[in-house]
Structure 1
């Protein structure tokens, strides 16, 4: 234990002696968490809206005013013809074109139905889908009000029957997207920092030649590996603590679950990441190689973790692959515990799988590590 203590002490001194490493460990994650949590959102705002009003009646103007009053749309222009509107969309000046046909008000009052033409720039398919939902909501609400007015006009004695829905939003009452994204971004930062640091740490020993000197000492393989990785395990938990403080104080993310449960699961999860970092370092000779390989796996893990894209929306073969992605389980646990108040029995399947991953990855890494005495 004394030898292990000396190795851990030496690693901490080496980490804090490197002045360029400290900002990467502590300042960069804070900045990234604040920036990414504000930038990473599926809310589509400032949609460049234009229209072609062929009717020029009070009803057509009322419909346009509905879009103007929305916080999602910015009316940038109106066009006298479809040709000019399409040209503007081709140049990227507008995102949505609403065309109101001739005799819009007359046909709506007589025929009780009318068709509107909506053209959406769908280069970004997901954004176009969200924009279409916004447009349909505005038109449907406008349509309900028009129907009520028409019924009251035809029969002053009768009252229209209105069905009112009262939605109840669980776990995110304000529908704040940051509440959903902050736990996921925190997972991303804890994973990236611990993986990159652990992967490059041993490789750095190779580059400067100190690893060969350590290999010929009586230090046991287990002592060396634990001593090298333990500081980064502590740093990972420290990053989690900083992230939780920022989530609560800056983003006001509700943390309704157990802090102890978060730390217990994170302690096991970091072992998985440290094992992956050690495994990568066994097959690389330079820090640049370790960085590239770590980033290659990180991109795959992140995109298939459910952080940005729902796993249920992926193809079946992709959903099967995500079962072997440890980041997926960490994202699930963070959101379950922080937002839903999940207990140990709720996250037990994820905890057991993560523990299995930790055992396998560290076992492979230790087995592949070569030490000569």
Structure 2
């Protein structure tokens, strides 16, 4: 009963102000929706300037493909050279595509993306339906276009992705050109993409955002729970009561865990309905992993509350810890890309394991056999934080 009354007190304390309902439930949902549409790694509508200095029909066909592709937004089509560096400085375009005839003098530092699109020296051009082969000049005399791809490398990730898009358009055109001539590439790669065939980044980011949503609220609320008692001078009431440190810990953290689970449930509903992400795994395993994570993150939050003297200090420490967890979680960047000097922090980051587990359950449908070790490590971090909290409880609260 003592634990129940403390639990009830914390719930009433959290919802004493009506604004807290909006802060705890409406704001996180809006954040989930916003992050789901904003934090994406796929790129569309890339602004492109096209300079076509070639008289080859292949160049015109490629220009037509780029123009009608949903990946690119052609902001200008020119028949004369441009000062591409000035275009990049002004931010008018992220890429400049230059088509030239091979006989023309190339620009300095030319990057040849594709050449010989008109068929090379195999023989007369055919299949264009304009005139007989006997009336056409030899293929070696036809203009052979080359493609120069100039990218704004300020955003290296976007530049690499956009370059891959351009190469894909050129490759598909070459394949279609050979198919029209009854030929095919000597090597035909066949790609099979599992779990996310459309390569939609929201399917990868959405489950991770649910994990982030669970982290933010629970850590902040737990971090200020005990500090609020200090500032309101009601901590002595807890100390002289018959509540044990474990009961105080449970009374302060269980309400936050309940709020976190409600927010997580709402986040899952948003991910399933709004982002159309299918849950391939077990919902029960998902909540089991969430409970282990909550024990870990609430222990960290309670430890922050013990070492803080004011709510401002608690908010600062919890914000710093949350940002550190986020950067080292693999939510935004793969953990393999994190420098080795920080890998030990990655290994003790509970958010890293929850993000991995949620993605595996959502996208791959993995069971407990695939991530039980992650649960053990995540629970171990919680036990260490819980032990440190109990060890320093008396010394911290009476200081």
So what's the TM-score if we normalise by structure 1? 0.91
1:195 maps onto 2:219 in alignment? yes
Residue 126 (structure 2) aligns with: none
Write the distance in 2 (CA, Å) between the matches of 1:82 and 1:204. 67
Q: 2:149 aligns with which of 113, 118, 123?
A: 118
CA contact (8 A) 1:196 1:291 kept: yes
Residue 360 (structure 1) aligns with: 384
- In structure 2, the residue corresponding to 1:181 is in which secondary structure? helix
Residue 179 (structure 1) aligns with: 203
The CA deviation at 1:160 is 1.3
The CA deviation at 1:322 is 1.1
CA contact (8 A) 2:45 2:71 kept: yes
Say which is worse superposed, 57-66 or 79-88, in terms of deviation.
79-88
Write the distance in 1 (CA, Å) between the matches of 2:82 and 2:270. 51
The CA deviation at 1:287 is 1.6
Write the distance in 2 (CA, Å) between the matches of 1:146 and 1:260. 52
For residues 157-209 of structure 1, the C-alpha deviation after alignment (integer angstroms, 9 at most, x for no partner) is xx313565554322123332221111100000101110001001221222222
The CA deviation at 1:319 is 3.4
Q: Give unmatched runs, 5+ long, in structure 2.
A: 104-114, 123-143
CA contact (8 A) 1:49 1:96 kept: yes
CA contact (8 A) 1:186 1:240 kept: yes
Say which is worse superposed, 327-336 or 214-223, in terms of deviation.
214-223
User: Alpha carbon RMSD of aligned pairs, Å?
Assistant: 2.1
Residue 161 (structure 1) aligns with: 184
CA contact (8 A) 2:220 2:315 kept: yes
- What is the total number of aligned residue pairs between the two structures? 363
Q: 2:253 aligns with which of 229, 244, 262?
A: 229
Residue 127 (structure 1) aligns with: 158
- In structure 2, the residue corresponding to 1:41 is in which secondary structure? coil
Residue 155 (structure 1) aligns with: none
The CA deviation at 1:229 is 1.1
- In structure 1, the residue corresponding to 2:49 is in which secondary structure? strand
1:303 maps onto 2:327 in alignment? yes
Q: For 1:1-373, what aligned pairs fall within 5 Å after superposition? A: 2-102=1-101, 108-110=118-120, 115-149=146-180, 152=181, 159-161=182-184, 166-370=190-394, 371=397
Write the distance in 2 (CA, Å) between the matches of 1:300 and 1:60. 49
Say which is worse superposed, 120-129 or 138-147, in terms of deviation.
138-147
For residues 310-362 of structure 1, the C-alpha deviation after alignment (integer angstroms, 9 at most, x for no partner) is 12233333334311111110011101112211112211101111111111011
Residues 224 and 109 (structure 1), Cα distance of their counterparts in 2 relative to 1, 3 Å cut: closer
Write the distance in 2 (CA, Å) between the matches of 1:252 and 1:78. 38
Residues 229 and 365 (structure 1), Cα distance of their counterparts in 2 relative to 1, 3 Å cut: same
- In structure 1, the residue corresponding to 2:332 is in which secondary structure? coil
Write the distance in 2 (CA, Å) between the matches of 1:233 and 1:22. 16
Say which is worse superposed, 139-148 or 354-363, in terms of deviation.
139-148
Write the distance in 2 (CA, Å) between the matches of 1:250 and 1:109. 48
Residues 369 and 82 (structure 1), Cα distance of their counterparts in 2 relative to 1, 3 Å cut: farther
Residues 92 and 350 (structure 1), Cα distance of their counterparts in 2 relative to 1, 3 Å cut: same
- In structure 2, the residue corresponding to 1:276 is in which secondary structure? helix
Report which of the two has the higher share of helix: 1
- In structure 2, the residue corresponding to 1:116 is in which secondary structure? strand
The CA deviation at 1:116 is 2.0
Residues 161 and 131 (structure 1), Cα distance of their counterparts in 2 relative to 1, 3 Å cut: closer
Say which is worse superposed, 117-126 or 319-328, in terms of deviation.
319-328
- In structure 1, the residue corresponding to 2:236 is in which secondary structure? helix
- In structure 1, the residue corresponding to 2:162 is in which secondary structure? helix
Write the distance in 1 (CA, Å) between the matches of 2:337 and 2:183. 40
Q: Give unmatched runs, 5+ long, in structure 1.
A: 153-158
Residues 111 and 205 (structure 1), Cα distance of their counterparts in 2 relative to 1, 3 Å cut: farther
